[in-house]
A and B are shown apart, each in its own frame.
Chain A
Amino acid sequence: MTIVEPERTNLPETTGGGELVPASETSAESAPPLGVFTRPTSTTGWRSWLTTVDHKKIGIMYGVSAMVFFLVGGVEALMIRTQLAAPDQNLLSADLYNQVFTMHGVTMIFLFIMPLAAGFINYLLPLQIGARDVAFPRMNALSFWIFLFGALFVNSSWFLGGGADGGWFNYAPNSSVVFSPSHGIDFYAVGLQIVGLASLISSINLVVTVINMRAPGMTWWRLPVFTWMSLVTQFLLVFAVPVISVALFLLTFDRLFGATFFNAGAGGDPFLWQHLFWIFGHPEVYIILMPVFGMISDIIPVFSRKPLFGYRFVVFSGIAIGFLGFGVWAHHMFASGIGPMSVTAFSLATMFIAVPTGVKVLNWLATMWGGRIRLDLPMLYAIAFVAMFTIGGLSGVTHAFASADTQQTDTYYIVAHFHYVIFGGGVLGLLGGTYFWFPKIFGFKLSEGLGKAAFWVVLVGFNLTFGPMHVLGMEGMSRRIFTYSDYQGFNLWNLVATLGSYVLAVGVAMFLANVFLSYRSHKANPVDVGPDPWDARTLEWTIQSPPPEYNFDPIPVVHEVDEAWHLKYGHDEDGRAVRIAEMEDLAQPGDSVGVHLPSPSYMPILLASGLPFIGYGVIFNLWFAVLGGLLVIAGFVGWSFEPSDDPDVPHDEHHDGHDPVDGSDGAATNGHSGDGAEPTAEASPAGPSGETSQETADV
C-alpha cells in the first residue's frame, strides 16, 4: 500500500516561542508612561477578566453572559406558554403579557443568540486562522463591555416602569408615546442602539482580523468554513446594523424629543419604520444562522471522518445567502399593503434564497454519505440541526408564496417557522458547537451520558413545543395575543405546546447540570483531554487545551484546508484516509515564554460604562447623560494616552537578528521558506515584512 503523504516540511517549526516583534517600536520606545495611565498587569483572578483584551477570555465572557440571558428569555418563554396553556387565562395581565413576549424576543435575539455566536467567533476565529489575537484587542474588549452594559440597560427597564411592549418588531405608530406611554420602548430604542454599537465595533474588528491576520499559507480557500461563515456574518453586520441604528434614532427622537418621523398625521410614515426595521431584520436572520452553518460545516466532517463535500459550494452558497439576504426584507410585509408589484418582486427573491440554503443541507448530507459517523454529542446536535432546520426551511418556502403568506403571516404558523429556524437551527447548532469546542476552551469534556439524555429531552421538548404551533397557525391562531377563547378551538395544541415547553426547560436544566457536574468531576479527578479529543480537522486542534494566552508558539504555516487533519492523515491509492501521525506528537507544546501580547486595559470597560448613563440621561434626566459623557470621554482620553505596549518588556531584545524591513527574514521566521506554500498577498498584506502580518495592532 502506498501512502501518499502531503508534501510538506516538518511542522511546527521549532524556532522557539516568542520571536514575535511588537507592532510599533517607535511609540513603545517613547518616554515612560504617565503614572495614571499604566496598564493593568494581572492575567489571573477576577480583575484580569475586567481588563483583559484576550480574545479567548472575551469569548468566554460573551458566552457566559449569553447563557444568563438565555435563562432570562427562557423564563419569559415559560411565562408566555403558561398563560396560553388554556383559554381565557389571566395569570399575566394583557399589559404584562405584551411586555413579556416583547422582551422574550428582544432578549433571545439580541442578548442570547447573537452574543453566544459572537462568543464562539471571538474565541475561535483567531485560532482557526492561526493568529495570536484579533486585529484590535482593546476594541474587542470594548465591544463586549458595550454589549453587556447595553443588555443590562435593556433589562433594567423591568425595574424602572416595565419592559417594552411593542413586540420585538415594534411597529410604528404603536411604538409612539401616545400609544405606549411607559418608558419600556425608550429602553428598547436606546438599549438596542447600545447593543448594536457593540455588534458594529466587533464586526469591523473581525473583518479586519480575517483579512489581515491569517497565518502564512492560510489562503481564502483554506479557511475553515466556520471562519468563512463568520466573516460573511460580520459583513452582514457591518451593512445591516447601521440601518437599525438609523431606525432607532428616529424612534428615539419621535418618542423623547417630539419628532414625527413615523406619525402619518404629521407628514411621517409608518412604512418608513417597517422598511428600515426589516432591511436590518431579515439579514439579522442570517446573522444568527450563518455562524451556525459554519459550525455544522466544521462538525459534520470531523464526525464523518470525511472532508466537507463541496467546500467551495458551501462557501459560495453562504456568500450568496449573504447577498440575497439583503433583497428579501419586504417578505415580512406581504400583508402590509405595499402593492402587488413589490410583493411579486420580494416573493420571487424569497423563493430563490431557498436554493443556496438547500444546497448546504444536501452538501452536509453528502458529507455524511459514505463516512464513518461517530454519534458523539456534537454530531448528534449537528444531525438534529439538519433535520430540524429543514423543517424551518420548508415552512419558510411555503410562505415565500406571497398569497399563501397572507393566510399565514402573523399566525402561530410563523411562530413555529422561525422557532424551527432559530431554535431548531440556531440553538441546536450552537449547543452542538458548545459540546464540540468545550474541551478546547476549558480543557475537559462534558459528560457523554447526561449529555445524551439532555439531547433527547431537548429534542423532544423542542418538537412538542413548536411542532403544534404549525397546526395552531393553520387553525387561525394569531401571534401576540395574550389569550384566546374556548370557541376558537385552540385548546388542545396550546396545552401540548405548553407541556412541551416544560420538557424543553428540563432539557436545558440538564445541560446546565451537565456543565456543573462535569466541572466538579474534572476538579476532583482531572483528565487531560489532549489537544485534539475529537480527531478534528482545523488549526485550533493543533494547540493545547485550553490554549495558551498567546495561542500559537510559532505561527503555523498552512498547507491545506483542514490543516490539522492533513498533519495526521495521508491517503492510500483508493483515497482512504491513512494515519501518518498522532496529534499528541505534533501539537504545539504551549510552553513559550515572553511572547509579546497586548497588555490588558482599564479603558474599554471605563468607556463602555458611560453609555448606559447616557441612556438613562436621554430617558430620565439629561444630567445623567453628562455623567455618562464624561465617562466616555475619560475612556477615550485614557485609551489614547495609555502606553501602547507593555512597558515591562524590553523590546530591543526581540529585535536581535531581525531587520524589520528585511522581508526574507520575516518570511523565514514564519516558516515560509521553501515548502511550496505560497506566501500569498492575502496572507501577508502588511507589506514586505511577513512578520507584521501577524501583528496585533494595539488599538
Chain B
Amino acid sequence: MKLLSSLPRPIRRPAQLGLGVVLAVALASCGNQETYPLTTLSPQGKQADTIHSLVKPIFVIAAIVFVLVEVFVVFIVLRYRRRRDDVDGENEPVQLHGNTPLELTWTALPALLLAGLAVFNVQTIFSLEERAPDAIEIDVYGQQWWWEYRYDLDSDGEPEIVTANEMVIPVGKPVELNIRSRDVIHSFWIPALNGKMDATPGSTHFMAMQANEPGVYEGQCTEFCGLSHGYMRMSVKALEPAEYEQWLTDQQAPPEEPTSELAQEGLTAFQSQCAYCHQVNGLTSEGTYEAEGPVADYQGLDGAAVPTVRPGVAPNLTHLMSRERFAGGMFPLYNDDDTPNEAQLKEWLTDPEAMKPMRPNNQQGMPNLNLDPATIDALVAYLVTLD
C-alpha cells in the first residue's frame, strides 16, 4: 500500500480501490471450504500450505502490477487525449523515438524481480518432492471413471485393503501416493491437500500428502479422460490416528453375513450378476465369507487396452457402506438422516447409463443388466449389509 501512496494524486484513490476489489474477489469470495468444497485458496494440508504460501505473494504482486498498469492506461488516455480544439499539424507531439536507458531499466527490473521470485519457486518445487521415511504408502489407480486405492500394509506387494472413490488417511501423518492409470490419463487432485498429479498409463507418479485436520476433502479428476470426465470425482477422508487404525482393522475383516432373507437372495443375485466385475473379499461360492480370501487378483496395468470382464475391474465392494458415495464419487450412499440411500442405488442398478454417461458396449463403464425390480430390491438389500 505504501507503493500506492506514491502514485499521483488523481489516480491514487482508484488504484487503492481497484487493488482492494481485486484481492477481495480473488481471496475472499472463493476461499471458504464449506461453500466451495474444491477451493484452492483454503489449504488444509502441509503441501497445500506450502503452495499457498507461494501463491499468496504472487497474487499480491500480480494484483499490484495489474492495478498500476490499468490505472496507468486510463491515466494516459485521459491525460493525452486529443482535445476538441487541437488542430492536426499544429502543436503536434514531440516525435520521441525512444530512450534506451529507460527501456533497459524496465527490461531489467521485472527480470530482477522475477529472478528473486524464482528462488522461492524452485524451493517450493523441491520441497513438495520431499519424502518422509515413515510415510504411509497408498497406490492410487485411475480408470474410466473412478479411482481405486490399495493399501499394502505389510509391504509384501499384495494389498490388504482395496477400496474406491474415497481414500482414508490419518491426520498429521505423511502419506505418499503412487499414482497410476489403467487406461487413459487422469489427474488426481484434492485441492485442500495438494496440487494435481496425472495418472498416466505406463508410469508411476509420486505425490506427498498430509492432512492437518480431520475431515472429508473433495476432489475431481482434472485431466480430460473421455465421456464421463466431469463425473469422475473422489475424496480423501482424514481420520484421527486411532480411528484410522480402527478403519484399517475393519477393512481387513470380511463383512457381516446378511441376515434377512431378501439380502440372502441379493447375495445369490450378486454372485450370478455382479461378481464378474465387482469383488467382495472372501465371498465363497457357497455364499459365506472366509477371512483369508484373496483381496485383489486384478492388476490391470496392461497399458491402454480396455480391461476385459473379470473380478476386480470394477470397484471393490467389500465395505461399500463404509464410504460416503458411489459410482465414481457421484452419488451419496446415505440420506440426510443416515439411512442408506436405497432409492438411488436402485435407480443405478435399473439404468446406470441414465445416471452417469458411459459406453458399456465399448467396455467403458457399468452395463445395464436389465435386472427385474425384485432382483434389484434384493441386491440393494444385500449391498447395504456390506458395512
The complex places the Cα of A263 from the Cα of B99 at a distance, in Å, of 55
Closest 10 A/B residue pairs (Cβ): A265-B303, A406-B195, A476-B38, A264-B202, A481-B230, A337-B205, A94-B357, A579-B89, A577-B92, A310-B98
- The yes or no answer to B261 lying at the interface (CB within 8 A) is no
Partner of B54, one of A166, A305, A403: A403
Give residues 281-320 of A contacting B (CB, 8 Å).
304-307, 309-313
Q: Is the CB of A264 within 8 A of B304?
A: yes
Q: Which residue of A lies closest to B358 (CB)?
A: A94
- The yes or no answer to A483 lying at the interface (CB within 8 A) is yes
B223 proximity list for chain A (CB < 8 A): 171, 335, 410
Q: Is the CB of A347 within 8 A of B125?
A: yes
* Bitwise interface map of A from 143 to 174 toward B, beta carbon under 8 Å scored 1, else 0: 00000000000000000000001110101011
Give residues 12-32 of B contacting A (CB, 8 Å).
25-26, 29-30
Partner of B125, one of A171, A262, A403: A403
Q: Is the CB of A375 within 8 A of B77?
A: yes
Q: Is the CB of A271 within 8 A of B107?
A: no
Distance in angstroms from A100 CB to nearest chain B CB is 13
- The yes or no answer to B237 lying at the interface (CB within 8 A) is no
The complex places the Cα of A179 from the Cα of B224 at a distance, in Å, of 12
Q: Which B positions have Cβ atoms within 8 angstroms of A? A: 25-26, 29-30, 35-41, 48, 50-51, 54-55, 58-59, 62, 65-66, 69-70, 72-73, 76-77, 80-82, 86, 88-89, 91-100, 102-103, 106-107, 110-111, 114, 117-118, 121-122, 124-126, 128-129, 144, 179, 183-185, 187, 189, 191, 194-198, 200-203, 205, 218, 220-231, 302-306, 357, 359, 362, 364
Q: Is the CB of A179 within 8 A of B364?
A: yes
Distance in angstroms from B318 CB to nearest chain A CB is 27
The complex places the Cα of A166 from the Cα of B223 at a distance, in Å, of 11
Q: Is the CB of A372 within 8 A of B54?
A: no
Q: Which A positions have Cβ atoms within 8 angstroms of B? A: 93-95, 98, 165-167, 169, 171, 173-174, 176, 178-181, 262-266, 268-271, 304-307, 309-313, 335-337, 340, 343-344, 347-348, 351-352, 354-356, 358-359, 361-363, 365-366, 368-375, 383, 386-387, 390-391, 394-395, 397-398, 400-411, 470-471, 473-484, 487-489, 535, 569, 571, 574-579
With A265-B201, A365-B76, A371-B80 already in contact, the answer to whether A311 and B98 are too (CB < 8 A) is yes
Distance in angstroms from B54 CB to nearest chain A CB is 6
With A173-B201, A476-B39 already in contact, the answer to whether A368 and B77 are too (CB < 8 A) is yes
B226 proximity list for chain A (CB < 8 A): 98, 165, 174, 179-180
With A265-B201, A311-B97, A386-B73 already in contact, the answer to whether A403 and B124 are too (CB < 8 A) is yes
The complex places the Cα of A585 from the Cα of B103 at a distance, in Å, of 38
Q: Count the A-B residue pairs with Cβ separation under 8 angstroms: how many?
A: 322
Partner of A403, one of B35, B77, B99, B121: B121
The complex places the Cα of A95 from the Cα of B96 at a distance, in Å, of 57
Q: Is the CB of A359 within 8 A of B220?
A: no
Distance in angstroms from A3 CB to nearest chain B CB is 11
The complex places the Cα of A480 from the Cα of B149 at a distance, in Å, of 25
The complex places the Cα of A176 from the Cα of B226 at a distance, in Å, of 11
Distance in angstroms from A7 CB to nearest chain B CB is 16
Partner of B196, one of A270, A343, A375, A406: A406
Partner of A355, one of B81, B111, B304: B111
Q: Is the CB of A390 within 8 A of B70?
A: yes
Q: Is the CB of B94 within 8 A of A348?
A: no
Partner of B110, one of A179, A264, A358: A358
Q: Is the CB of B118 within 8 A of A476?
A: no
Partner of A404, one of B26, B58, B111, B118: B58
Q: Is the CB of B82 within 8 A of A480?
A: no
Partner of B93, one of A268, A482, A577: A577
Partner of B38, one of A387, A488, A575: A488
Q: Is the CB of B220 within 8 A of A401?
A: no
The complex places the Cα of A479 from the Cα of B107 at a distance, in Å, of 34
Partner of A391, one of B66, B93, B179, B195: B66
Partner of A171, one of B128, B224, B362: B224
Q: Is the CB of A309 within 8 A of B82?
A: no
The complex places the Cα of A366 from the Cα of B72 at a distance, in Å, of 10
A312 proximity list for chain B (CB < 8 A): 98
Distance in angstroms from B341 CB to nearest chain A CB is 15
With A368-B77, A403-B51, A476-B38 already in contact, the answer to whether A307 and B97 are too (CB < 8 A) is yes
Q: Is the CB of B196 within 8 A of A576?
A: no
Q: Which residue of A lies closest to B56 (CB)?
A: A404
The complex places the Cα of A68 from the Cα of B63 at a distance, in Å, of 37
A356 proximity list for chain B (CB < 8 A): 107
A362 proximity list for chain B (CB < 8 A): 103, 106
Partner of B89, one of A363, A407, A578: A578
B228 proximity list for chain A (CB < 8 A): 94
Q: Is the CB of A476 within 8 A of B195?
A: no
Distance in angstroms from A369 CB to nearest chain B CB is 6
- CB pairs A–B below 8 angstroms (6 shown): A171-B223, A335-B196, A348-B122, A373-B76, A476-B38, A574-B94
Partner of B118, one of A336, A348, A489: A348
Q: Is the CB of B362 within 8 A of A178?
A: yes
A473 proximity list for chain B (CB < 8 A): 40
Q: Is the CB of A575 within 8 A of B96?
A: yes
Distance in angstroms from A476 CB to nearest chain B CB is 3
With A166-B224, A313-B103, A476-B37 already in contact, the answer to whether A406 and B97 are too (CB < 8 A) is no
Partner of B39, one of A370, A372, A405, A475: A475
The complex places the Cα of A528 from the Cα of B252 at a distance, in Å, of 87
Q: Which residue of A lies closest to B26 (CB)?
A: A474
With A265-B304, A372-B92, A372-B93 already in contact, the answer to whether A480 and B191 are too (CB < 8 A) is no
Candidate in A269, A340, A390, A476 with the most chain B CB atoms within 10 angstroms: A476
Partner of B30, one of A174, A401, A471: A471
Q: Which residue of A lies closest to B305 (CB)?
A: A265
With A387-B73, A478-B220 already in contact, the answer to whether A335 and B96 are too (CB < 8 A) is no
Partner of A475, one of B36, B70, B82, B194: B36
The complex places the Cα of A488 from the Cα of B233 at a distance, in Å, of 11
Q: A370-B96, A390-B70, A488-B37 are in contact. List 9 more A-B contacts (CB 8 A).
A: A173-B201, A173-B303, A307-B97, A310-B103, A383-B77, A390-B69, A403-B50, A404-B54, A476-B40
Q: Is the CB of B196 within 8 A of A373?
A: no
Distance in angstroms from B81 CB to nearest chain A CB is 5
Q: Is the CB of B198 within 8 A of A178?
A: no
Q: Which residue of B lies closest to A363 (CB)?
A: B103
Distance in angstroms from A697 CB to nearest chain B CB is 36
Distance in angstroms from A536 CB to nearest chain B CB is 13
Q: Is the CB of A269 within 8 A of B39?
A: no
A405 proximity list for chain B (CB < 8 A): 195
A391 proximity list for chain B (CB < 8 A): 66
The complex places the Cα of A166 from the Cα of B227 at a distance, in Å, of 9
The complex places the Cα of A365 from the Cα of B74 at a distance, in Å, of 10
With A179-B184, A368-B80, A571-B95 already in contact, the answer to whether A478 and B221 are too (CB < 8 A) is yes
